């Protein structure tokens, strides 16, 4: 999955440092750098106090149960230690396309298939996605949900 900075909702997020890679301690795949902000907000309450350091990585491997990790300080958070399902992980349920407004991939696909939406703007109008944007804290990558919504639209369009 390629991440580009495509914010269109004014949430002012940006992909921090794409050049910085670090391998997942469990599956050995390269993770994506995320700031501490979404980690602090999304780990389950019981683990919040253990969030240390400034930077984390997120494991993008759908089969791996690791979500956030920082190998420098030896911390990792697994799927069941994070309070929201991570959309690209296997068995995520529900699978959110927009974490800020809790709109699921299913709702986006329905807007495409049933209501004929083709663009993110149209989907947002139908589903209420990206209202009250606070992607920095609520999106697991700390970046704008735009990209995930676009991927869900593409899935919906492919089904038509
Ligand atoms: Zn992993």
Instruction: Please give the Cα distance from 147 to 123 (Å, whole number).
Output: 13
What local confidence, expressed as pLDDT, does residue 1 receive?
A: 44
For residue 57, the CA-to-ligand 1 centroid distance in Å is 10
The 10 Å CB-count burial string (b at 16+, else e) for 106-144 is ebbbbbbeeeebeebeebbebbebbeebebbebbbbbbb
Q: What is the mean pLDDT of residues 32-61?
A: 93
CATH code of domain 96-159: 1.10.10
**Ligand 1 mean position, distance from CA 66 (Å):** 5
Cβ < 5 A residues, ion ligand 1: 24, 26-27, 59, 61, 64, 66
For residue 77, the surrounding DSSP H or E stretch is strand 75-78
Q: How far is the CA of 158 from the centre of ligand 1 (A)?
A: 29
Domain boundaries of the chain, sorted by first residue:
96-159
Tell me, yes or no, if the pTM score tops 0.95.
no
């Amino acid at each position: 999955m390629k991440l580009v900075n495509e914010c269109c909702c004014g949430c002012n997020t940006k992909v921090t440092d794409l050049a910085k890679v670090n391998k997942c301690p469990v599956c050995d795949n390269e993770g994506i750098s995320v700031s501490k902000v979404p980690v602090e907000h999304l780990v389950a309450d019981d683990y919040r106090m253990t969030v240390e350091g400034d930077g984390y990585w997120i494991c993008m491997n759908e089969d791996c149960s690791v979500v956030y990790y920082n190998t420098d300080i030896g911390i990792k958070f697994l799927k069941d230690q994070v309070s929201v399902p991570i959309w690209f992980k296997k068995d995520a349920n529900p699978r959110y396309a927009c974490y800020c407004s809790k709109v699921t991939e299913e709702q986006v696909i329905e807007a495409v298939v049933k209501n004929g939406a083709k663009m993110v703007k149209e989907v947002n109008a139908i589903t209420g996605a990206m209202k009250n944007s606070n992607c920095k804290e609520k999106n697991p990558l700390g970046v704008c949900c735009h990209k995930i919504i676009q991927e869900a639209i593409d899935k919906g369009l492919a089904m038509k």
